Chains A and B, each alone.
Chain A
Amino acid sequence: MRTCAVMSSQKKINSWARRRTSQGSSSYQTRLSAWRVKEDLSDSKSISKRGQNNTVEDYEGADDQAEDALQIALRYFEKGPIKTSQSKEKHLKTVENVAWKNGLAPEGIDILLSVALSGKFGSAVNTRIFKCIIPVTLISEDSVVKAVSWLCAGKCSGSTKVLFYRWLVAMFDFIDHKEQINLLYGFFFASLQDDELCPYVCHLLYLLTKKENVKPFRVRKLLDLQAKMGMQPHLQALLSLYKFFVPTLISVSLPMRKKIYFKNSENLWKTALLALRSRNQGFPSEPLKLMLANVHPIKRNWNSHSIIPVLNSCNYSKESRKKRMNLSDYFSSNGSFPLEQLKSFPQLLQNIHCLELPSQMGAVLNSSLLLHYINCVRDESVLLRLYHWLSQTLQEECIWYKVNNYDHGKEFANFLDTILRAECFLQEGFYSCEAFLYKSLPLWDGICCRSQFLQLVSWIPFSSFSEVKPLLFDHLSRLFFTSSIFFKCSVLQCLKELLQNWLLWLSVDIHVKSVRNSPLETTLGGSMNSVSELIHYVGWLSTTAVRLESNHTFLLHFILDFYEKVCDIYINYNLPLVVVFPPGVFYPALLSLDSSILNQLCYIMDRYHKNLTAAKKNEFVHKTKSEFSFSSKTYQEFNQYLTAMVGCLWTSRPFQKGLSIDPEILGNASVAEYKKSLNLVHHPAFLSYTVSFLLQECPEERKVNMSSIRGKKWNWYLDYLFSEGLHGLKHFIRSSIHRSSVP
């Protein structure tokens, strides 16, 4: 069996090598780099900055185009109708799209208001125009005044007038000034005569009325109207407002019954207004939220319009304190610092003892200053509040818990991104996220929010691996084996980050421990065990994955990336642990067709070498610390790999031990002379280097003689390889091979 396997892989290597030498390596290189860029973007540390910049640029690019189209459309409407309805429809669409996505600038609103009220177009068009007059942030007062003057021109229909008043009421809060509009009070008041307009004008007047607007003749007029039309709620509302301002003017008693006074004029623009308000409050504007507000009104009802609560200091505790307060309470609460005023880090430092915590702890996710506070707070209840809120919100929002809820995807992904930013900032995972992973990972399809979900995995707080394995990693491996190579690579990347996070934790802890002499000492062995179990788990995943994906280069890169972390634990993190990779990773990497893989392998071997040497030296110095001395098995494993590598690459005596191939089979495969075929010159990963090295020497040559590289030329060849950037190889050869033995 074994001989067969070797033979076939040899054959494969040959054919690959041929292809490689003929094609050059460019196509592989570009594909690889493309993948790497993609990976970088999903990297946890860069996601906040790079990821966002990217999308912003994309938006801006798209916005520029939309902006031009909008200008053309506005000019078209300004000019008035041309007999081609097609372009009208197109321009209307353009305006609607821009308006609903980002809102319109004051100039655009000015133009559209004039167009709609000048009667240039039919009322169907006017209606559509009104529906999309949505400001980016504010509406200029002048536009409104101008619009009112169009009303006097009498060019628009009654229904358009109604629409205008409804629009004005809905947008009232977004008009920048209201002084001039208030000067038109008399005009609006006169419009009450119009039965159709009356309710809306009443609503507008209700919003506009100041004390000085309340005049006896107006009261009389209102009472007349009421006598004529009966007890209309809108008239009552205006009357009661008048009565509030000047009680002496109105002697009639108004019924105390509670009632909704005005028809809701906002309805037409409701979702747009929600987006507008959040835009004005400084929440990131999201075109998608417009739609979401439509689809899930019930949920919105409960939890306002963002998942994360707004930062408010405890509103209740303030009230209650006022009542029952003894002297000490008084002093402590008097100095309390409201969150709303917290703007800078120095402020936080000065007031950290008397900070009023938010009424809903979830709000800290949106404030880096409060995350600082969370970071050092000792109060368990603060963390418990955050825990409860976060774990419930995660489950409530999680989209694969619900059927047909995939429109929520973007929102959920954004929420996860916010959590991840906070975790990255704190350099610590939240327990609620871990609990959420336990529940949701078995249901996950491996696609939805993949990048975020895997990053959550990489922030799992340090814990006993064997305990977490059945809850998380068993499910993860099932997904791992059944998914694409890209998924496998992402999982390996996330496990590398997990390992890194755990190591950082432990390494900080070990330093603190030596000072404090904490009771943890006895369990350090336990935690090392946990880390090594994680590494063995990844080793197992990698071995199987390499076989499943038939030694794919991408995959090997990610696997070796992981081992780049593993090999340096002893030196980089000062933790007593060295775990060597399994043969299922080592040999495929050694026989890889890709020089960068081999180079990475050399680098890792060199680092293992340094770590093990350092460990041995330390052991020698402090003989007492026997608990963490490495078993001789680790050294044996490493030495075996080292021998194999030197045998292959350098001495051309590969696999002296433990591998015997029937020479006949090798003869049949026409590789009877196999011994040299894996050395630095003939190794398929280096073939292209060998050829270009030889061609450099004599470019005219049509046939190169590879075996001419020996003796001095061997050294030149080595220098050539190093100059090509194979630094891993350089380090490996420097540390593991005594150069006297040049073949």
Chain B
Amino acid sequence: MDSYDTPELTRRQDASSRLKDFFIGATPLQKRLESVRKQTSFIATPPRRKIPQGSQLQEDVDPQKFAFLLHKQWTLYSLTPLYKFSYTNFKEYSKLLNAFIAAEKQKGLAVEVGDDFNIKVIFSTLMGVKGTQRDPEAFLVQILSKSQLPSEHKEEKVLWTGWFCCVFGDSLLETVSEDFTCLPLFLANGAETNTAIIGTWFQKTFDCYFRPLAVNAFNLSWMAAMWTACKMDHYMATTELLWSVPCSPHSLDISYAIHPEDAKALWDSVHKTPGEVTQEEVDLFMDCLYSHFHRHFKIHLSATRLVRVSTSVASAHTDGKIKILCPKYLIGVLAYLTELAVFQIE
């Protein structure tokens, strides 16, 4: 820290304009503070949400295009708005990130001088992964290993994938100026060291901040309810909930698997408002599961901690891991995750 030699002398000349802004609430900064205040003073989660509807992708987008995003485990992060990010500079970003990764990997190790690093970085947009027209386009970063073998084997191996998206992120979009690109949700698949290097590059280049996005038990039960509520043509997996009992030396896990049709039937019996899920319904749904379990095993699940929810739509773990299974509800799942990410940023 430099020495501050004139602490008393500096005073804001424009205190007045600041104050004026405060009363009008004009600047983006003020809007942000306002929204934080609102969030903190009322119950954090709105009492009702929409049940994800099928095929919310724009019509011209082929859901098969995003098949590679499904059935993979993604680690979730929240991300503050990117400063001076531009969709037209992808080529340069690839080059710079490539160089950065090479430099990071070689730190402290001997490398062959003058040799190209054997990876390839690709930036590309994920056209259509968004909720409204105002949401910025999602984009994808992939790290491929360049094959050393002769060119017959063109197959390049994907080492790491990460994507940035914003689905129905209106509340965040309102509070930033046009220099920023809001993609509050970041999902990564691949080695943690790679995520760290790439994250660091983004932080340095676009002055943003990554934070791991954990999903608490409260939000997991919302997921359980919302995803059970989704209409499915055929179920691919059983509905399974996992509770953890903290006890030493090893924690005890309780797995609770339900036939998805039974779960849906239970949901239909507690569900009243068409198209929406309310807090009461979520609580009631979980309470029914608890009491059923208690009747059979005499264990109060409500006293333990919900750590994982798997349904045919998606599965989520409390430490911020998600796997999306159903292409139809991709956007719906992302919308809720975006909401959680935005909440963490604010």
Contacts and interface: CB of A to CB of B under 8 A. Distances in A.
A302 B200 contact: yes
B155 interface: no
Contacts of B96: 316, 319
Interface string A369-381: 1011001101011
Nearest to A387: B29
Contacts of B207: 359-361, 385, 388-389
Contact of A266 (B19, B83, B108, B204): B108
B273 interface: no
Interface stretch (A148-156, A254-262, A608-616, A660-668): A254-262
Interface stretch (B2-10, B120-128, B132-140): B2-10
Nearest to A202: B110
A127 interface: no
A323 interface: yes
Interface stretch (B20-28, B50-58, B223-231, B235-243): B20-28
Contact of A518 (B2, B20, B114, B200): B20
A718 B68 CA distance: 91
Contacts of B118: 258
A367 B1 CA distance: 6
Interface string B82-94: 0110000100100
Given A302-B210, A380-B27, A388 B345 contact: yes
A392 B345 CA distance: 7
A360 B80 CA distance: 13
Contacts of B345: 388, 392
Nearest to B200: A302
Given A315-B204, A384-B180, A471 B40 contact: yes
A737 interface: no
A505 interface: yes
A388 B176 CA distance: 10
A467 B37 contact: yes
Interface in A466-521: 467-468, 470-471, 504-506, 508-509, 512-513, 516, 518-520
A301 B12 contact: no
Interface stretch (B191-199, B248-256, B279-287, B297-305): B191-199
A718 B15 CA distance: 47
B147 to A, nearest CB: 12
A319 B80 CA distance: 23
Contacts of B32: 384, 387, 431, 435
Contact of B19 (A323, A383, A462, A470): A462
A294 interface: no
Nearest to B175: A384
B45 interface: no
A381 B92 contact: no
Interface string B156-180: 0000000000000000000011011
A392 B211 contact: yes
Contact of A427 (B10, B18, B81): B10
Interface stretch (A71-79, A236-244, A598-606, A703-711): A236-244
Given A360-B204, A367-B2, A463-B22, A241 B113 contact: yes
B10 A256 contact: no
A431 B209 contact: no
Contact of A470 (B5, B36, B41, B114): B41
Contacts of A516: 16
Interface string A436-463: 0011000000000000000000000111
A55 to B, nearest CB: 14
A389 B173 CA distance: 17
A508 B11 contact: yes
Contacts of B265: none
A368 interface: yes
B84 A261 contact: no
A352 to B, nearest CB: 14
A359 to B, nearest CB: 6
Nearest to B205: A316
A302 B199 contact: yes
A319 B16 CA distance: 39
A389 B209 contact: yes
Contact of B7 (A45, A260, A320, A438): A45
A206 interface: yes
A427 B4 CA distance: 12
A366 interface: yes
A302 B36 CA distance: 27
Given A368-B4, A470-B41, A258 B117 contact: yes
A298 interface: yes
Nearest to B88: A324
Interface string A251-276: 00010111011101010000000000
A249 to B, nearest CB: 16
A421 interface: yes
B10 A262 contact: no
A170 to B, nearest CB: 10
A339 to B, nearest CB: 13
Interface in A407-436: 418, 421, 424-428, 431, 434-435
Contacts of B84: 316-317
B41 A302 contact: no
Contact of A428 (B4, B12, B16, B204): B12
B33 A431 contact: yes
Interface string A195-211: 00000000100100000
B250 to A, nearest CB: 18
A48 interface: yes
B81 A388 contact: yes
A192 to B, nearest CB: 16
A396 interface: yes
A295 B20 CA distance: 47
Given A256-B115, A360-B207, A509 B16 contact: yes
B43 interface: no
A393 interface: yes
A48 B117 CA distance: 47
Interface in A277-327: 298, 301-304, 309, 312, 315-317, 319-320, 323
B112 to A, nearest CB: 5
B115 A261 contact: no
Interface string B181-216: 000000000001100100110011101111100000
A421 B1 CA distance: 9
A526 interface: yes
A123 B16 CA distance: 72
B16 to A, nearest CB: 4
Given A266-B108, A512-B15, A519 B211 contact: no
Given A320-B92, A367-B2, A421-B1, A381 B15 contact: no
Contacts of A206: 110
A380 B29 contact: yes
B276 interface: no
Given A261-B109, A262-B109, 19 more contacts: A45-B7, A241-B110, A244-B113, A254-B112, A258-B112, A262-B110, A302-B196, A302-B199, A312-B204, A320-B89, A375-B10, A384-B28, A384-B29, A388-B209, A425-B10, A463-B22, A512-B16, A520-B19, A520-B23
7 contacts: A258-B117, A372-B10, A376-B14, A424-B4, A425-B4, A426-B10, A504-B11
Interface of B: 1-5, 7-8, 10-20, 22-23, 27-29, 32-33, 36-37, 40-41, 80-81, 83-84, 89, 92, 96, 108-115, 117-118, 148, 176-177, 179-180, 192-193, 196, 199-200, 203-205, 207-211, 345-346
Q: Which 7 residue pairs spanning A and B have beta carbons closest together?
A: A388-B80, A392-B209, A368-B2, A512-B16, A261-B110, A381-B179, A438-B40
Interface of A: 45, 48, 203, 206, 237, 240-241, 244, 254, 256-258, 260-262, 264, 266, 298, 301-304, 309, 312, 315-317, 319-320, 323, 359-361, 366-369, 371-372, 375-376, 378, 380-381, 383-385, 387-389, 392-393, 395-396, 418, 421, 424-428, 431, 434-435, 438-439, 461-463, 467-468, 470-471, 504-506, 508-509, 512-513, 516, 518-520, 523, 526-527
